[in-house]
């Protein structure tokens, strides 16, 4: 699709969540280069303001900043209010985070917070902007699954589950919205060099770049239902596609184990082991 055709279908405004760094920032830069106006959404105002100034200067576009914490129940309220008068033709729901390690070692509040960002906020955005795109007669939506979202992933169980939700949502909406002129694509990358790995406490030797994720996804928008950016995601997706689901889960467990090998045994795990030993001694 030429830049002019892209602007006509998905412009003049694009909403990008998680725009302060990583994949979201890469999407904002790619879309700005195509002449679209950008709404940058994230929690850190100082970073968003610097990025907005950069995009205005380099591409002579209009940029709005919306500071919002999507882990909060009211996280989308300001986004919806501040974009009400804008002709939004494309939504890139890139905000999200993950955890790794033993499920029982994580505080439940943190896991629920991940559900809020990765699932609830995305669902609200899909419903709100989906209705607006229907009224305007078309547009697009980019939702983010993951290589882990196609099966269970030991040592990243809840994160994989959140991405399975988004992947399934995108697949259903793509068919449902096709008659409305709304293109939906699920981006399902493997490891990517972003701040995600640091927050999730994972070490990734082989990873693609946010620039590749943005480029490949925007190229596939309107042509495919799911895109797997980067060679590793494509290779693993292809190599695992014929394996039964239970085996894919085991394989993903081995991959996650290699990425989390540096983690010490969680305190909860140590406590459970100690309790078991104490209980055994008490029964002797």
Which residues are annotated as catalytic? 159, 163
CB under 8 Å to 55, separation ≥6 — which residues?
28, 29, 32, 38, 61, 63
d(CA 168, CA 143): 10
**Do 91 and 185 touch, CB atoms closer than 8 A?**
no
DSSP 266: P
**Do 233 and 190 touch, CB atoms closer than 8 A?**
yes
What does each C-alpha distance from 119 to 144, 190, 245, 262 come to in angstroms? 10, 19, 23, 29
d(CA 241, CA 251): 12
CB under 8 Å to 182, separation ≥6 — which residues?
130, 133, 134, 138, 139, 140, 141, 173
254-282 burial, b at 16+ Cβ within 10 Å, e below that, comes to: ebbeebbeeeeeeeeeeeeeeeeeeeeee
Helix or strand run (H / E) with residue 217 = helix 210-220
Structure tokens at 258: 């290699």
- Candidates 158, 160, 155; CA nearest to 102 is 155
d(CA 241, CA 235): 10
């Amino acid at each position: 699709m030429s830049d002019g055709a892209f602007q006509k279908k998905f412009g003049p405004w694009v909403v990008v969540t998680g725009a302060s760094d990583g994949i979201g920032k890469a999407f904002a830069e790619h879309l700005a280069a195509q002449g679209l106006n950008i709404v940058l959404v994230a929690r850190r105002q100082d970073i968003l303001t610097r990025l907005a100034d950069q995009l205005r200067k380099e591409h002579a576009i209009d940029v709005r900043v919306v500071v919002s914490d999507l882990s909060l129940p009211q996280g989308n309220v300001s986004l919806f209010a501040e974009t009400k008068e804008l002709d939004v033709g494309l939504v890139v729901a890139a905000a999200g985070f993950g955890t790794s390690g033993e499920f029982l070692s994580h505080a439940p509040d943190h896991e629920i917070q991940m559900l809020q960002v990765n699932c609830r906020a995305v669902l609200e955005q899909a419903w709100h902007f989906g209705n607006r795109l229907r009224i305007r007669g078309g547009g697009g939506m980019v939702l983010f699954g993951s290589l882990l979202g196609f099966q269970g992933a030991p040592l990243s169980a809840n994160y994989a589950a959140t991405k399975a939700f988004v992947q399934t949502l995108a697949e259903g909406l793509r068919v449902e919205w096709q008659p409305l002129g709304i293109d939906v694509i699920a981006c399902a990358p493997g490891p990517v060099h972003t701040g995600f790995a640091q927050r999730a406490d994972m070490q990734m030797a082989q990873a693609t770049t946010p620039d590749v994720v943005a480029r490949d996804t925007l190229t596939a928008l309107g042509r495919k239902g799911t895109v797997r950016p980067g060679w590793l995601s494509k290779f693993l997706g292809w190599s695992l596609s014929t394996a039964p689901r239970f085996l894919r889960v085991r394989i993903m467990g081995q991959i996650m184990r290699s990425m989390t090998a540096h983690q010490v045994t969680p305190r909860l795990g140590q406590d459970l082991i100690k309790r078991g030993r104490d209980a055994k001694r008490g029964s002797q």
